[in-house]
A and B are shown apart, each in its own frame.
Chain A
């Protein structure tokens, strides 16, 4: 199996893509460590450690920005604004007719939608970076319990420079993500969020050992392994709908007569619903940081939406995941189009008429399968929170997104490995997955 990894690097085309992706990841990490001009790096370093030990909200924010946010790095905002923007645009496509016609226009329309997503990302980035710096300029607000000033120049010029640099950083991240999608391996957005989580994952795991000791650490690791296997198990499960192609003569040649199947994954939506749900739930936590932390709504949010073990939080998370699972399947999988195509090429599902009935049948199966898939996603994302909550440890605070981060990491890992695999197979190599 390890030879397959070596083989992947021996194939020139694939090697280029892999190295490109690794290079982009390196750039991304560099930007996440590079401080924005005007930031007092030393002060941040002295303040960061006690704040992180406290866990809770800082752990949450730190996990999802890959540690860059609290360091006020150039890439402080991470890939989040881009993800949020694309969620908003995809939701708006359903609501606003003009955007819907754009989407139906095909490639030109999609390009236009991508353009809108980029503009929205920039707008969100300006908003978030302004808010972030507004907090950071007051000593003791961003990293509570530490009164050192974090920013040298708190005048208008310094602030404007920092905001524009962070916004530019977000634009660069967006570009890096699109580059990975185009010329690298895997989907850029997922790979970058994978990187962000991977950056804080070891720390978080170690925190459990430090706080809880070896026993809990080993139990958590074992549970993690089981979880990984469970995720792989469901991701690989397919409902195969048989399709029979009619034999027909075109000119002097015989076509068709083959039978294939349409593979419907149990979890057709993949990990996108989890990414969407987590990034939406991350917003209120961020909002409390930006707003006045002593005001009533902020206290309310702190109470219900920043602790992974609170029932209301878990319920919201679950509902969001289920919603996005259905939503994402609905926008990516189009039974009408599939049924039309099958009809055009003389294919049919045995026992079902071509056209409308086929479409209805596909819809029927898809809805039933997605119900199971969505519930699976929600449950997997919640298991660690519930389990650690039951164990009665404070580790939940250090491991707030346990289930979600494992889902994202395994999901992206599986997708990427499969993509490498299919590229290897094109060249007749055996690949990893025998």
Chain B
């Protein structure tokens, strides 16, 4: 069952990380380079995607804030009338 993934001799970019007992600054430097290397492989949203999502979120948030404010206005008036 498990004789699947045949090993390929080379593994890209996954070594390193625990590179021996070098000094702390060089290890931080290595880590930093690895972080940047991973970030380069990240797929960032396109401009169009970004605009659509931003607009949709803004509309949604505005509607919710309006809804909550309206509720609050109504309830606080009612509370003042009943208990005030």
Are A35 and B45 interface neighbours, CB within 8 A? no
Q: How far is the CA of A414 from the CA of B55 in the complex (A)?
A: 11
With A348-B5, A353-B5, A372-B39 as known contacts, state yes or no: A433 contacts B52, CB within 8 Å.
Answer: yes
Binding site for B on A (CB under 8 A): 1-2, 5, 22, 25-26, 29-30, 33-35, 41-42, 45, 67, 194-195, 198-199, 201-202, 225, 228-229, 232-233, 236-240, 246, 248, 266, 343-344, 346-348, 350-354, 357, 360-361, 364-365, 368-369, 371-372, 409-410, 413-414, 416-417, 432-434
Are B8 and A1 interface neighbours, CB within 8 A? no
Give the contacting residue for B83; candidates A29, A41, A343; CB below 8 A: A41
* Interfacial chain B residues near A232, Cβ < 8 Å: 45, 50, 53-54, 57
Q: How far is the CA of A5 from the CA of B67 in the complex (A)?
A: 15
Minimum C-beta distance from A367 to chain B (A):
9
Minimum C-beta distance from B37 to chain A (A):
8
Give the contacting residue for B64; candidates A2, A67, A198; CB below 8 A: A198
Chain B interface residue count, Cβ-Cβ cutoff 8 angstroms: 48
Q: How far is the CA of A30 from the CA of B71 in the complex (A)?
A: 8
Q: Give B1-58 interface residues, CB cut-off 8 Å to A.
A: 1-2, 4-5, 7-8, 10-12, 14, 17, 31, 34-35, 37-39, 41-45, 49-50, 52-58
Are B35 and A29 interface neighbours, CB within 8 A? no
With A33-B76, A364-B17, A372-B39 as known contacts, state yes or no: A417 contacts B56, CB within 8 Å.
Answer: yes
Minimum C-beta distance from B18 to chain A (A):
10
Binding site for A on B (CB under 8 A): 1-2, 4-5, 7-8, 10-12, 14, 17, 31, 34-35, 37-39, 41-45, 49-50, 52-61, 64-65, 67-69, 71-72, 75-76, 78-80, 83-84
30 pairs from A and B in contact (CB 8 Å cutoff): A29-B68, A29-B72, A29-B75, A34-B79, A41-B80, A41-B83, A195-B68, A198-B64, A229-B54, A232-B57, A238-B42, A239-B42, A239-B43, A246-B5, A343-B4, A344-B1, A346-B5, A351-B10, A351-B11, A352-B5, A357-B14, A361-B14, A364-B17, A368-B34, A368-B35, A369-B39, A369-B42, A372-B38, A413-B57, A432-B56
